[in-house]
A and B are shown apart, each in its own frame.
Chain A
Amino acid sequence: MAASLPSQKARPDPVQQVGATFAWVTALICLAPIPLVVIVATTRNWADGFWAGGITMRWLAEGWQQISPYAWFSLRLAVLILVLDVLVGLPTAWLIARYDFPGRQLLSALTMVPIAIPGIAMALALILAYPAMRGDGRLLVAGHLLYTLPFFVGALVAPLSHPRLRELEAVAATLGAGTVKRLLFVVLPQVRGALLAATIMVVTLSMGEFNVSFFLFTPSLKPLPVELYSAYITGRVEQAAAITLCFLLFVIPATIALERLGGGRVGQA
Chain B
Amino acid sequence: MNKPSKATSIDFENITFAYPGSSVAAVTDITLSVRPAELVVVVGPSGCGKSTLLRIVAGLVQPSRGRLLLDGSDTLKLPPEKRRIGWVPQSYALFDHLDVSGNVAFGLRMQGANREQRDRRVQEMLDLCRISQFAHRPVSELSGGQRQRVAIARALATDPRVLLLDEPLAALDPQLRVALRADLEALLRRSGVTTLFVTHDQSEALAIADRVVVLRDGRIEQYDTPERLWTQPANAFVAEFVSRAITLKARCRPEGTVELAPGLIAPVNQALPSDRDIVTLTVRPTDLMLDPEGVAVEVTGCEYAGGTYTVFGRLATGAVVSFLADARLPIGERARVGLRHGTRLNVLDQ
Residues of chain A having any CB pair with chain B under 8 Å: 100, 164, 167-168, 170-178, 181, 185-186, 189-190, 192
Contacts and interface: CB of A to CB of B under 8 A. Distances in A.
B80 A173 contact: yes
Contacts of B87: 170-171, 174
Interface string B12-31: 00000000100000000000
Given A174-B58, A174-B83, A181 B89 contact: no
9 contacts: A168-B93, A168-B95, A170-B93, A172-B95, A172-B110, A174-B86, A176-B84, A176-B107, A185-B110
Contacts of A189: 95, 97
B91 A173 contact: no
Interface string B70-110: 00000000011101111101010101010000000011011
Contacts of A176: 81, 84, 107, 110-111, 158
Given A172-B106, A174-B85, A185-B106, 12 more contacts: A100-B20, A164-B93, A170-B89, A173-B79, A174-B58, A174-B80, A174-B83, A174-B87, A175-B107, A175-B111, A185-B109, A189-B97
Contacts of A170: 58, 60, 80, 87, 89, 93
Among A100, A186, A192: residue with most chain B CB under 10 A = A186
Interface string B191-211: 000000000000000000000
A173 B160 CA distance: 13
B154 interface: yes
Given A181-B110, A189-B97, A190-B97, A174 B59 contact: yes
Closest 4 CB pairs of A and B: A175-B107, A173-B80, A176-B110, A189-B97
Given A167-B89, A181-B110, A185-B110, A174 B81 contact: yes
A167 B81 contact: no
B212 to A, nearest CB: 24
Task: Classify chain B's interface size.
Answer: 20 to 34
Contacts, number: 65
Among B83, B93, B111, B158: residue with most chain A CB under 10 A = B93
Contacts of B86: 174-175
Contacts of A192: 97
Contacts of B83: 174
Contacts of B59: 173-174
Given A174-B85, A175-B158, A164 B91 contact: yes
Contacts of B81: 173-178
B110 A175 contact: yes
A194 B328 CA distance: 59
A185 B109 CA distance: 10
Contacts of A100: 20
A172 to B, nearest CB: 7
Interface in B111-148: 111
B165 to A, nearest CB: 12
Contacts of A186: 95
Contacts of B110: 172, 175-177, 181, 185
Interface of A, secondary structure class, is helix
A171 B97 contact: no
A192 B97 CA distance: 10
Nearest to B96: A190
Contacts of B154: 175
B96 to A, nearest CB: 8
Among A168, A170, A171, A172: residue with most chain B CB under 10 A = A171
A91 B80 CA distance: 23
A180 to B, nearest CB: 11
A168 to B, nearest CB: 5
A171 B89 CA distance: 8
Contacts of A177: 81, 106-107, 110
A172 B95 CA distance: 9
Nearest to B97: A189
B113 to A, nearest CB: 10
B111 A171 contact: no
Contacts of B107: 175-177
A170 B95 CA distance: 12
A173 B155 CA distance: 11
Nearest to A188: B97
Given A167-B91, A181-B110, A186-B95, A173 B158 contact: no
Nearest to B113: A176
Contacts of A181: 110
Nearest to B85: A174
B222 to A, nearest CB: 29
Contacts of A173: 59-60, 79-81
A177 to B, nearest CB: 4
Contacts of B20: 100
A173 B84 CA distance: 10
Contacts of A175: 81, 86, 106-107, 110-111, 154-155, 158
A40 B54 CA distance: 69
Contacts of A164: 91, 93
Contacts of B106: 172, 175, 177, 185
A2 B97 CA distance: 43
Interface in B151-196: 154-155, 158
A84 to B, nearest CB: 28
Interface string B307-337: 0000000000000000000000000000000
Contacts of B84: 176
Nearest to B90: A167
Nearest to A167: B93
A122 B119 CA distance: 57
B124 to A, nearest CB: 16
A164 to B, nearest CB: 7
